[in-house]
Amino acid sequence: MSTLRAFSLAALCLLLSFQVSAQRVMLDRIIAIVDDGVVLQSELDARLLDIRTSAAANNQPLPDNEQLTSELLEALIIETLQMQFAERVSIRFDDDTVNRVLNNMAQNNNMTFDEYVLALEEAGVYLMTREQVRKQMTIQELQRGVVNRRITITEQEIGNFLNSEMGREVMAAEFYVNHLLISTPSADSTEEKEAKLKYAADLIAKMGELNNFSQVFTEARQDRIFPMDSTDFGWRRADEFPTLFADIVSNMDIGDIEGPIVAGNGFHIIQLAQQRGGTEQIVSQTNIRHIMLEPNEIRNEEQTLAAVEDLRQRIEAGENFATLARQNSDDASSVVGGGDLDWVSQGGMPPEMEVIIDELAENEISEPFRTETGWHIAEVLGRRESDLSQEYSRIQAENSLRDRKFDLELQNWLIEIREEAFVELIE
């Protein structure tokens, strides 16, 4: 190949690349100016492709092309406004947070994080997926913060809700029940029924002894002494169970076993495995005080531990706990009160601290222990069971009312920011 010909081919390739680049620039043009931002043609095209692909996969009808394009452009304008708003109030999510969401998405697809990332990269959508996740998280956080501040729930509304039929239904407890049935067909003789009843009673005794309903049930099915069956009722309110169980379930505590319950089809055994919701909330609380020291620039980890141990010895020798806490503790939330954390409900403190507190007797000073915030010594001043049912009911009612108002208030806010924005569509 001659030098001239090689040059000509190179020039042609260069010219073609310039033409392709120019074509790309023309395709990815600004189609809307939205306050300080813009919407690009490529964003609209990508959204159209996603919608059409999803609709085809689910055999769903779509509006005509003009209407669909208009609706998606409006959605992109609203998203752009929200992202600008989020930027102004400094709502941002770092890469680690995005990675945690992607890891959850990977698990939902039965993949490891690395496998999921590789699959996205091979499809050419990894970076786009990351940014879409970040955008969705940002918008959700913005909406939650802005809209909740616009919602007002009055005490009258809470009272009316708790007294309403809907309120009672929402507040009702839900139960998850393990179930076992030893069938008694009509052809069974009296002796066979008595043998099955005795066997059911033996199973209940064994369940109580081993404290394991599932193990006893599994072993009994494997033994095949009598045919057995079970029903997975799922999560249900008491009045949604068969009438046979409804009154029994509502009076059971978690782990309780009831039976044999005699019915026309056999002998039933049930265990209350889990419970959620409801208005009865009896909570274990502990009155705690502590001293916490943090390692810092002038006190390393070993020196901090030694300082906490010294404070413990001084308290054991008779010095006042509260005074030493006020003089030394790095916990700003409790230092004024002499380290007193007041009554803390079970689950209301860091797990590593709760383990230590649970093992302390009243008026006993703990050995030094470490949490994420620093080194502690703690003392239990008292323990009690508190009925927080009324407070819990009020909180649940307020949350339900807030959820009911959220969507409407969100739409009102979106309409407001859209009407106040400067938007210019570019043909």
User: Hey, is 349 helix, strand or coil?
Assistant: coil
Alpha-carbon distance of 415 to 149, in angstroms, equals: 17
Domain ends where: 229, 249, 276? 276
* H and E: helices and strands count for the chain: 15, 12
Structure confidence by residue, pLDDT tens digits, 222-262 = 888 998 888 889 888 888 898 889 889 988 988 999 999 99
Alpha-carbon distance of 410 to 416, in angstroms, equals: 10
- Sequence-distant (6+) residues with CB within 8 A of 277 are 171, 172, 173, 174, 396
The per-residue pLDDT for 50 is: 86
Please report, for the domain that includes residue 110, its CATH number. 1.10.4030.10
- Domain assignment present for 24: no
- Predicted TM-score (pTM) of this structure: 0.54
Total number of domains in the chain: 4
| Same-domain status, 177 and 254 | yes
Give 11's pLDDT tier (boundaries 50, 70, 90): very low
What crossing angle do the helices spanning 190-210 and 213-223 adopt, rounded to 10°? 140
Task: Find which of 5-9, 221-225, 289-293, 372-376 is predicted with most confidence, using mean pLDDT.
Answer: 289-293
Give 173's pLDDT tier (boundaries 50, 70, 90): confident
Decide if 261 contacts 245 (C-beta within 8 A).
Answer: yes
Which run of H or E residues covers position 385? strand 375-387
Domain ends where: 244, 276, 308? 276
Which run of H or E residues covers position 266? strand 266-276
Read off the tokens for 227. Answer: 């045919």
- Domain assignment present for 1: no
| Same-domain status, 411 and 368 | no
Alpha-carbon distance of 294 to 335, in angstroms, equals: 14
Please report, for the domain that includes residue 223, its CATH number. 3.10.50.40
Q: Is the pLDDT of residue 85 over 60?
A: yes
- CB burial of residue 380 (10 Å; 0-12, 13-18, 19+): buried
| Same-domain status, 144 and 253 | no
Alpha-carbon distance of 101 to 99, in angstroms, equals: 5
Alpha-carbon distance of 208 to 30, in angstroms, equals: 71
| Same-domain status, 141 and 41 | yes
| Same-domain status, 374 and 414 | no
| Same-domain status, 265 and 369 | no
Cis? peptide before 368, omega within 30° of 0? no
Question: Which of 93, 197, 205 has its CA nearest to residue 140?
Answer: 93
For 272, list phi and psi in degrees, rounded to 5. -80, 105
Q: How many C-alpha atoms does 115 have within 13 Å on its Cβ side?
A: 9
Q: Is the pLDDT of residue 1 over 50?
A: no
Q: Is the pLDDT of residue 7 over 70?
A: no
| Average predicted confidence (pLDDT) for the chain | 87
| Same-domain status, 184 and 259 | yes
Q: How many C-alpha atoms does 49 have within 13 Å on its Cβ side?
A: 6
Give 162's pLDDT tier (boundaries 50, 70, 90): confident
Q: Is the pLDDT of residue 52 over 50?
A: yes
Q: Is the pLDDT of residue 81 over 50?
A: yes
Q: How far is CA 264 from CA 22, 185, 186, 220, 337, in A?
A: 81, 9, 9, 22, 64
| Same-domain status, 130 and 75 | yes
**For the chain, how far is it from start to end, CA to CA, in angstroms?**
48
Question: Which of 177, 174, 173 has its CA nearest to residue 268?
Answer: 177
| Same-domain status, 162 and 130 | no
Decide if 171 contacts 278 (C-beta within 8 A).
Answer: yes
Give 281's pLDDT tier (boundaries 50, 70, 90): low
For 254, list phi and psi in degrees, rounded to 5. -60, 130
Read off the tokens for 423. Answer: 């938007």
Q: Is the pLDDT of residue 119 over 70?
A: yes
| Same-domain status, 380 and 402 | no
Q: Residue 344 sits in which domain range?
A: 282-387
Alpha-carbon distance of 173 to 236, in angstroms, equals: 8
- CB burial of residue 99 (10 Å; 0-12, 13-18, 19+): middle
The per-residue pLDDT for 389 is: 67
Domain ends where: 150, 183, 200? 150
- Domain assignment present for 6: no
In total, the chain counts a number of residues equal to 427
- Domain assignment present for 366: yes
DSSP structure class, residue 186: T
- Domain assignment present for 13: no
| Same-domain status, 123 and 218 | no
Q: Is the pLDDT of residue 110 over 50?
A: yes
Structure confidence by residue, pLDDT tens digits, 359-407 = 999 999 999 999 988 999 999 999 988 766 677 788 888 988 999 999 9
| Same-domain status, 378 and 411 | no
- Sequence-distant (6+) residues with CB within 8 A of 90 are none
Could you tell me whether strands 235-237 and 174-183 are parallel, antiparallel, or unpaired per DSSP bridges? Answer: antiparallel
Tell me the residue type at 58.
Answer: N
